[in-house]
């Protein structure tokens, strides 16, 4: 089993939720709802991981945490 984190944003122009998993090429998707996004992201991750060699899987990044940063503009 592999656990990772998807970075999720809401696209202002389309209103869609967009998710990407950093460090896994091709691991990105979009959906109208968060539930649909979760399902889509799981499917795309399974496909991406199926295509990886054992050596590539060993080099997957390890999730450490998330930090929110606020800056003045």
Residue 24 domain flag: yes
Residue 29 domain flag: yes
Q: Is 13 left (phi over 0), alpha (psi -120 to 50) or beta?
A: alpha
Residue 26 domain flag: yes
**pLDDT over 90 (residue 39):** yes
Residue 68 domain flag: no
Residue 53 domain flag: yes
pLDDT, position 44: 97
* Residue 43: domain span: 7-58
Tell me, what CATH number does 40's domain have? Answer: 3.30.160.250
% of residues, the chain, pLDDT over 70: 100
3-state secondary structure string, the chain?
CCCCCCEEEECCCCCCEEEECCCCCCCEEEECCHHHHHHHHHHHHHHHHHHCCHHHHHCCCCCCCCCCCCCCC
Considering its fold, how many domains does the chain have in total?
A: 1
pLDDT digits (tens, 9 = 90+) for 9-31: 999 999 999 999 988 999 999 99
Residue 22 domain flag: yes
- Give the pTM: 0.81
Separation of alpha carbons 44 and 11, rounded Å: 19
pLDDT, position 49: 95
pLDDT, position 17: 98
């Amino acid at each position: 089993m592999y656990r990772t984190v998807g970075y999720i944003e809401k696209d202002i122009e389309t209103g869609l939720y967009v998710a990407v998993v950093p460090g896994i090429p091709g691991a990105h998707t979009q959906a109208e709802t968060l539930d649909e996004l979760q399902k889509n992201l799981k499917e795309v991750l399974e496909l991406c991981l199926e295509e990886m060699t054992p050596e590539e899987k060993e080099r997957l990044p390890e999730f450490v945490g998330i930090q929110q940063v606020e800056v003045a503009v």
